[in-house]
Amino acid sequence: MPGAAFLAIRSGLRWQRFDAGGALGGPIPSSDGGSAWAIHPPRGEKSPKSERRQRLALLGCAVFLAVCLEIAAIGSSLEGASGSADAGVATAGETVAAQTETTPGSKAQSGQEKPSANEDASLAFNLASVPAYSGSATIEVNGNAPFFSGSDLVAESHESYSELDSLGRCGVAVACVRADLMSTEERGSIGMVKPSGWHTVRCDGLVDGNYLYNRCHLIGYQLTGENANEQNLITGTRYVNTEGMGPYETKVSDYVESTGNHVLYRSTSVFEGDNLVATGVLLETESVEDGGAGVKFCVWCCNVQPDVGIDYAIGDSWLEEGTAAQASTDEPDNTASEDRAQSAELAESTESGKTTGIESASEEKTYALNTKKFHYPSCSSVNDMAEKNKQEFAGTREEVVAQGYDPCKRCSP
């Protein structure tokens, strides 16, 4: 077979002869009585066809592995997307968990790892264990001991806030408060922020300040200087703001100013189901350097307003039946019936604008602010303002007046 021999030589192969048992040495008998010859590569070498098969097999394995990894990554991202929107929001009926996604505050130290209280700390708190409101703005929880772990208590200033969930609700706000975080400037406007469930509602003569709802800071402005931060503002009653959370914020502020120490502060807004207004807020604090000897508490702040009913699903409100009768008992024959009528009207619409003891404030508008005066944006005085001194406020006339601004005499807003 000169042609075949030549081909074998050119291919780097050699002819080998095998006997019937497959041993090297004799030809393998063929079916026609002849001998069979087989081509094999030299010892230690592989044929080109074998190498191609091996390369194709390896390439196939690599492609298969890459496809599997890509499918796994897509599944993981879809699962994360479905849960991340509500990761930081605590809902009643389940264990409250600290946020798994946070946004650092404006003065948070960049590049530093957040303490575990900001990442995945689990709070052994359940709303079902808290007694119903019975006249006290706050209720001690867990023996007044916060649910922090030892690793949370680090003497390092920081602050972080949960991302809003898919319903626009706040979650958890955490700060390790010290003088370097505390506010040093006069508080500015927050009227442009509309927290979930927000309504501007007047309760003249019934609520301190006449307004049912406040834009309530989860962590007080005096502690971190965070003002118009939508991740730090919930729709809270005047009662929970001033009688519930306010005194505890003052305790922390006074302690930090007098000692220069750190205080770990965590404020968790808790919502029932898909309600837009929080049922309440869990406040936890512990002074770090002295192990809680200076200030330490764990309290539930009830987001209620005495004598006012609240629909926590959407924020509507009404006078509780009998409120006006209690205020005036000289006319029992008609006061109670009038009160029931008022409550029925308010139940239909608290934004009706009728004077029934609890009503909506005037229409919200946009105003230009400058040097304690407020103007319509179209006022000619606005053109004369220096841009650095000009502010914009979105809210009601009553709100801007309550913040100490006087109306411009030229445009009379």
> Would you say residue 330 has pLDDT above 50?
no
Q: Give residue 364's pLDDT.
A: 60
Class of domain 90-307: alpha beta
More confident residue, 301 or 23: 301
- Two structure tokens written together for 214: 């406040």
Strands (E) in 10-157, as ranges, are: 14-17, 28-29, 35-40, 90-91, 102-104, 138-140
Per-residue pLDDT tens digits for 391-406: 777 777 777 787 778 8
Cross-strand bridge partners of residue 298 = 284
> Would you say residue 345 has pLDDT above 60?
no
What count of residues does the chain have?
Answer: 413
> Would you say residue 99 has pLDDT above 60?
no
More confident residue, 370 or 282: 282
Q: Give residue 84's pLDDT.
A: 45
The amino acid that residue 176 corresponds to is: C
d(CA 226, CA 126): 28
Q: What is the arithmetic mean of pLDDT over 373-388?
A: 77
Q: Give residue 413's pLDDT.
A: 79
Q: What is the arithmetic mean of pLDDT over 279-308?
A: 97
Torsion angle (degrees, nearest 10) of CA 349, 354, 355, 358: 20
Provide the CA 209 distance to its chain's centre, in angstroms: 29
More confident residue, 401 or 342: 401
Comparing 12-21, 167-176, 293-302, the range with the smallest average pLDDT is: 12-21
d(CA 230, CA 195): 7
Domain segments of the chain: what residues?
2-40, 90-307, 318-360, 365-407
Residue % of the chain over a pLDDT of 90: 41
Q: What angle do CA 158, 150, 109 make, to 5 degrees?
A: 15
Q: Give residue 78's pLDDT.
A: 53
Q: Are 205 and 164 in contact (CB under 8 A)?
A: no
More confident residue, 323 or 256: 256
From the list 336, 245, 283, the residue with the least C-alpha distance to 96 is 283
- Highest mean pLDDT (candidates 14-28, 47-61, 204-218, 235-249): 235-249
More confident residue, 264 or 392: 264
The pLDDT confidence band at residue 411, using thresholds 50, 70 and 90, is: confident
Q: Give residue 89's pLDDT.
A: 67
Q: Give residue 311's pLDDT.
A: 97
Q: Give residue 208's pLDDT.
A: 87
Q: Give residue 120's pLDDT.
A: 39
In this structure, the strands spanning 406-407 and 391-395 are unpaired
Buried b (16+ CB within 10 A) or exposed e, 55-71: eeeeeeeeeeeeeeeee
How far CA 274 is from CA of 268, 346, 402, in Å, comes to: 16, 23, 32
Q: Give residue 8's pLDDT.
A: 36
More confident residue, 112 or 329: 112
Strands (E) in 32-74, as ranges, are: 35-40
d(CA 249, CA 251): 5
3-state secondary structure of 346: helix
d(CA 39, CA 9): 11
Give the DSSP letter string of 246-297.
Answer: HHHHHHHHHHHHHH---EEEEEEEEE-TT-SS-SEEEEEEEETTTTTSS-EE
> Please, is 93 exposed, middle or buried when counting C-beta atoms within 10 Å of its C-beta (0-12, 13-18, 19+)?
exposed
Residue % of the chain over a pLDDT of 70: 64
Q: Give residue 321's pLDDT.
A: 81
Q: Which residue has the tokens 């053109």?
A: 383
